[in-house]
């Protein structure tokens, strides 16, 4: 059976590559260099060529808080095009099952916590990243309409904030953890303060990329409910950005840290409930944040000259 992974050289795609020998599939990992998924004809040609039985759709135009604020049109339009083309081709080419990756930013800004899957469309998302959030919401709607009209097994996973090796460590456009790792590395190298933008008070749940890779494969093989499923660490594992930054500085053994409160914090919290996951996979053991950060930092230092940044 052939399994096509879009976004196959990104953070989660690389984590799936690391564990692929544990599964009996013919894996095909596709990056933007292999196919421009914003172009329907090229996407269709890819599906004609590969003829996948299953698809894990990870490809997206992504970035951290400040990229979301700066490039609103790109965040909306590029993701809408990618998602439309991939799911349309999955339908045309009779793919048996599609797992599409959303994000916890899809959930409403004003809501009760912890958030569960039923809250997905109950109000607008936070205004700091609403174009990306709505593009991801439409991916869920597109998947659901294919279920309803064509009885397709197109489902969505909703991971919390992901981190790990092979991330984009861009200082300007990266997500929280990789940007902080890069910034602390440079601060120590140049003996300058490790400056964190914002107060550090927002709370987040972070999932290690290899954990998400394993859970995504579990969803492919075991989860057939039409409803989305949250893939997240537990509520008790929620941590502030300040504590993340302090942990990173401790691992680097560099204590010159400061917080620039002139910058916005973004959404204060978006705590998710992983009850559905734990009811179905009760014995799963998540990677502890300190261990995951050590692995991420070690990988970044070892691959500094070649990693995305």
Task: Give the three-class secondary structure for 232.
Answer: coil
Q: Are strands 257-260 and 203-204 parallel, antiparallel or unpaired?
A: unpaired
CA distance 177 to 169: 8
Closest CA to 140 of 114, 101, 111: 101
Catalytic residue among 54, 61, 130, 132: 132
Residues 6+ apart with CB under 8 A from 141: none
Count of Cβ atoms closer than 10 Å to residue 290 Cβ: 11
The CB density around residue 7, as the number of other CB atoms within 10 Å, is: 24
- Whole-angstrom distance, CA of residue 170 vs CA of residue 97: 33
132 part of the active site: yes
202 closest CA partner among 112, 264, 122, 127:
264
Q: Please count the other Cβ atoms lying within 10 Å of the Cβ belonging to residue 70.
A: 12
Say whether 50 sits in a helix, a strand or coil.
helix
DSSP 8-state assignment for residue 57: E
Measured from the Cβ of residue 28, the count of other Cβ atoms closer than 10 Å reads 18
Which positions are catalytic? 132
């Amino acid at each position: 059976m052939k399994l096509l992974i879009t976004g196959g050289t990104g953070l989660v795609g690389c984590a799936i590559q690391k564990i692929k020998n544990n599964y009996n599939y013919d894996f095909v990992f596709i990056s933007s260099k292999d196919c421009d998924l914003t172009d329907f004809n090229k996407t269709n040609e890819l599906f004609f060529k590969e003829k996948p039985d299953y698809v894990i759709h990870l490809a997206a135009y992504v970035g951290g808080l400040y990229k979301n604020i700066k490039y609103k049109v790109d965040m909306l339009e590029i993701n809408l095009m990618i998602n439309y083309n991939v799911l349309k081709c999955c339908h045309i080419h009779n793919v048996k099952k599609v797992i599409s990756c959303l994000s916890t930013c899809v959930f409403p800004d004003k809501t009760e916590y912890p958030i569960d899957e039923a809250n997905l469309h109950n109000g607008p998302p936070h205004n700091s990243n609403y174009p990306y959030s709505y593009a991801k919401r439409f991916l869920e709607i597109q998947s659901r309409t294919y279920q309803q009209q064509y009885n397709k097994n197109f489902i969505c996973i909703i991971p919390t904030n992901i981190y790990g090796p092979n991330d984009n460590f861009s200082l300007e456009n990266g997500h929280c953890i990789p940007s902080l790792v890069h910034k602390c590395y440079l601060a120590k190298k140049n003996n300058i303060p490790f400056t964190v933008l914002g107060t550090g008070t927002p709370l987040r749940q972070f999932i290690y990329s290899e954990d998400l890779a394993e859970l995504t494969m579990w969803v492919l093989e075991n989860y057939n409910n039409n409803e989305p499923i949250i893939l997240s660490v537990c509520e008790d594992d929620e941590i502030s950005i300040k504590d993340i930054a302090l942990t990173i500085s401790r691992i680097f053994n560099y204590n010159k840290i400061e917080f620039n409160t002139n910058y916005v914090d973004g959404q204060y919290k978006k705590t998710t409930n992983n009850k559905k996951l734990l009811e179905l996979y009760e014995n799963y053991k998540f990677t502890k944040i300190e261990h995951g950060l050590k692995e991420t930092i070690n990988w970044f230092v070892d691959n500094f000259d070649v990693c995305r940044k």
